[in-house]
Amino acid sequence: MKKLAVFLTIPLLILSGCGKTAVFEDDNEHWDFYQPCVPELDSIPGFLTKEYVSDEEWEAWTEKYENMQDCRKVTDYPTVYTFIKDFNVSDEDIINLYNDYDILSEQDLQILLTHDEAKIAEHFATDCAIVVGDCIYPPEWIYEHSASDYIAAGITPEILEEKLDEYADLGLSESAEDRFYEKLSEYVGREINAADEPCISISGKEYSAAWLSSHDLTDYEEAEITAKDVEKFLNEHGKEIADSEKDWIESCLGRME
Give the model's confidence band at 80: pLDDT under 50 very low, under 70 low, under 90 confident, else very high.
very high
* pLDDT, position 30: 74
pLDDT at residue 75 is higher than 60: yes
Q: What is the DSSP string of 150-184?
A: HHHHT--HHHHHTTHHHHTTS-B-HHHHHHHHHHH
**Residue-range domain boundaries for the chain:** 7-188, 199-256
- Residue of 48, 53, 57, 52 lying closest to 3 (CA atoms): 48
Residue type, 124: F
Q: Which residues have C-beta within 8 Å of that of residue 64, sequence separation ≥ 6?
A: none
Each residue's pLDDT tens digit, 200-252 = 888 877 788 888 999 999 999 999 999 999 999 999 888 878 888 899 999 99
pLDDT at residue 166 is higher than 70: yes
67/6 Cα distance (integer angstroms): 26
Q: Which residues have C-beta within 8 Å of that of residue 206, sequence separation ≥ 6?
A: 199, 200
Name the helix (H) or strand (E) containing 246: helix 243-256
Query: Can you give the pTM of this predicted structure?
Result: 0.68
Please give the residue that has the higher pLDDT: either 113 or 5. 113
Alpha-carbon torsion 46, 88, 80, 124, what sign?
A: negative
- Mean pLDDT, the chain, rounded, equals 84
Among the ranges given (31-40, 63-72, 174-183, 206-215), the one the predictor scored with the smallest mean pLDDT: 63-72
- Which class for 15: exposed (0-12), middle (13-18), buried (19 or more C-beta within 10 A)? buried
- CB–CB of 23/170 below 8 Å? no
**Residues forming a β-bridge with 8:** 44
Among the ranges given (10-24, 28-42, 118-132, 186-200), the one the predictor scored with the smallest mean pLDDT: 10-24
